[in-house]
Structure 1
Amino acid sequence: MDDTNEAKAKQKEESSLNEQFQFCERVIDDNDSGAFSTKEMQASSVRFQIKLINQFLQARLKECKEKLENLTREVSARELFSKNETVDELPTSSLQYLLLPSYLATTIQNIIVEPEHRVEALDNAKVYLRDFLERLLSYEVIAFSLPWLEEEEDEEDVRTKMKSKPDAGQVRANKVRRREQQKQMEANLENLKLERSCNADDDSVLRELLMARLQLFALKAVNELEQIDEERPLAEHMVKVRAGQVSPRPVKAETSSRPPIIITRDATQKKVFGLGYPSIPTVTVDEWFDDMVKHGRYDRLVTSLSD
């Protein structure tokens, strides 16, 4: 009887965690899509509705952040993840919780704060995004070599990368291409959601859906880290302006000189946390994405685009 009660209690706790997570995921998706604000904007009193929408969204984001922090503590206490595992060894029920740092970063970036606290918010979001990518790397969900984890790199290699840095036109083209990749990954995710709705009891479909979501949010994290690097000097400048330390003239965001994120061709050559690959053949993020499409990782996507 005690074992039965204990099992029921554990099941209830897991159900509660899942409900909290699903609430947070809805908030994140609504924030990304703007679905809620779009509906409310159709009301007649637009200006008044905008104010109500902003208040409602801020309240939801703050509640979401609180729940995400609680979930993070609970997941840590339950020891759902081990650094010695790969994603193939993780149960499907645990995969969604790998998204917690990414969701926390989103809430932190979207909660409105005074300009004096914006830099701190950006720094905190950056920590969460890096943690998210590092976790995905360690579990082999992605194969990015994360630049901030490269401990040893020859100075000549750094100078070579600096010289080969793409010009402004290439940077813009890369951003456009990255946006297109994100749209395609989002379309693939929607197709998997439809398949999931028709196969609710199929664990393999759910697992594929969660993996697709993790990879999509990994791409988003890369973009968000770049955006944070661009916004931070502007936020710092605003603080100085408000303090009367500098004049309120525009400040140009510094262009990051860090090496591009790269991916190893051979999965067996990856190291935990992706520390440096000076002699290993690499591909760009764009080439990695194209390779996944080429080898059928996005069959549903390619089919839907060709219809």
Structure 2
Amino acid sequence: MATSDNVSSDNKKICDMFDDAFELFNSFDKCPDPMNETTFQAKVKRCMHLFEETTKLVSAADIFSSNERYDELPTEHLRYFLLPAFLGELSLKLCNGSRTDIVNMADVYFKDFLSRCIDYGLSSRESNSRSISALPIDSSSGQHAQLTAMVGSRNAKLQKFREQKELENRLKILQECMDTKEVDEDTTRDYYITIIKMYVMKARDELDSLAMEKQILEHMEKAFEDYFVAEESESRCSSSSSHSRRRLPPKPLKPVIITKDEVQKAVYGAGYPSLPTFTVQEFYDQRVRDGIFPDSTKILPADLPKPLQQMTDEDIEAEQLKADEEKDQLEDDDDPEAIERARAMDEYKDDHRRGWGNRHNRS
């Protein structure tokens, strides 16, 4: 009695772990995150860990044997057929690590899934063998035989497409039934068998794709090896004969300045020595914006000084008179700066007579 209770407890534990992983697995189809996102990759690894732990428990419980058929298994054991198929699909979602290792791991999972389905009668060996090791058409055969093979391949693809659509429609109906509270055993059994048959077709397609990807990866790996070997041999030759080679002089450094616009860079090149970066008007406008020069638009014409050409003798006398008055006013006010400046000028005139200047080499 105790042994029966332990087995029932273990089965319940395995079933709960599978259901948790299966719920997380179904959430990936509705996840908006990109596949290479860190959170998405963390969910994939967590789901894989749950399925791997479930696989270990299933192996320890000896649920499967090679001398049974799927109709002899209990309904709660049918879901465990999907473990390698789910692990194979999840492994293809991994973005970190070697792609070759990921492809090889997925290949093992899908082949293990198809092999068990064949042993239990869920898939035919003939269709599986055609999928895994499809032979190319013999080039020596006649044109009629090639056309016949092409027509047969096309009909097989159409038949496969129709079967897949039927399984998808049936799975939608069964999923609605599974979402209800009360589900009978026949519905549950039909639900998991339908999923298994869908993944049988999907696993065959994935194996064909993985076989082609393996060839591409092998070709890329060989190309990289040849490239690195050539680079290594070239570096050895260059290091051994470096004393006989004449080093090229380094390129001269080019001055880098901030040019005014892209047109200058395109025509003259950056750092052209003779090209002004501003016109006179642009320079004046820049000074006005900086507050250094007055704005000509805000100055009244009466306030502007007259040019020399327009000044008459009266204007010149008036200017001189105005300057003398300002000078006298400063002297009357006893401005210390003006007095000091006048005394310095008188002393300078006493020591430097008019016409002295530079008398070097003059008689």
TM-score per shorter chain, which class?
0.5 to 0.7
Q: Determine helix, strand or coil for the equivalent of 2:63.
A: coil
Amino acid in structure 2 at the alignment position of 1:111: L
Return the alpha-carbon distance in structure 1 between the equivalents of residues 30 and 153 of structure 2: 30
Q: 1:127 to 1:217 in 2, by over 3 A?
A: same
Which of 194, 201, 207 aligns to 1:212? It is 194
Q: Determine helix, strand or coil for the equivalent of 1:110.
A: coil
Amino acid in structure 1 at the alignment position of 2:69: T
Amino acid in structure 1 at the alignment position of 2:227: Q
Which of 133, 139, 147 aligns to 2:114? It is 133
Which of 4, 11, 21 aligns to 2:18? It is 21
Which of 23, 27, 32 aligns to 1:30? It is 27
Structure 1 residue ranges without an equivalent (≥5): 41-49, 151-156, 247-307
**Contact kept? 1:109, 1:125, Cα under 8 Å:** yes
C-alpha distance after superposition, 1:179-227 (max 9, x if no partner): 5543432221111111233473410110011111110110111111111
| Distance apart, 1:65 and its partner CA | 1.6
Residue identity over aligned pairs, in percent, reads 24
| Distance apart, 1:141 and its partner CA | 1.4
Q: TM-score, normalised by structure 2?
A: 0.52
Return the alpha-carbon distance in structure 2 between the equivalents of residues 173 and 111 of structure 1: 35
User: Which residue in 1 is equivalent to 2:168?
Assistant: 186
User: Which residue in 2 is equivalent to 1:269?
Assistant: none
If you compute each CA radius of gyration, which structure gives the higher value, 1 or 2?
2
Which of 196, 203, 207 aligns to 1:221? It is 203
C-alpha distance after superposition, 1:27-85 (max 9, x if no partner): 43333xx3112xx5xxxxxxxxx48x722221111112222222111111101111111
Q: Larger relative CO (CA 8 A, sep 6+): 1 or 2?
A: 1
**Contact kept? 1:192, 1:205, Cα under 8 Å:** yes
Q: 1:28 to 1:235 in 2, by over 3 A?
A: farther
Return the alpha-carbon distance in structure 2 between the equivalents of residues 179 and 28 of structure 1: 24
Return the alpha-carbon distance in structure 2 between the equivalents of residues 113 and 224 of structure 1: 20
Which of 37, 42, 49 aligns to 1:54? It is 37
Q: 1:83 to 1:198 in 2, by over 3 A?
A: same
Structure 1 vs Structure 2 CA RMSD: 3.7
C-alpha distance after superposition, 1:154-175 (max 9, x if no partner): xxx9x98xx65855x9868865
**Contact kept? 1:28, 1:106, Cα under 8 Å:** no
Alignment length (residue pairs): 222
Please tell me whether residue 238 in structure 1 is matched to residue 238 in structure 2.
no
Return the alpha-carbon distance in structure 2 between the equivalents of residues 84 and 215 of structure 1: 20
Return the alpha-carbon distance in structure 2 between the equivalents of residues 231 and 175 of structure 1: 21
Return the alpha-carbon distance in structure 2 between the equivalents of residues 122 and 171 of structure 1: 26
**Contact kept? 1:182, 1:220, Cα under 8 Å:** no
Q: 1:58 to 1:93 in 2, by over 3 A?
A: same
> Following superposition of structure 1 onto structure 2, how do residues 79-228 of structure 1 map, counting pairs within 5 Å?
79-114=62-97, 117-145=98-126, 146-147=128-129, 164=146, 166-167=149-150, 178-179=160-161, 181-198=163-180, 200-228=182-210
Structure 2 residue ranges without an equivalent (≥5): 133-137, 229-363
Q: Determine helix, strand or coil for the equivalent of 1:226.
A: helix
Please tell me whether residue 77 in structure 1 is matched to residue 60 in structure 2.
yes
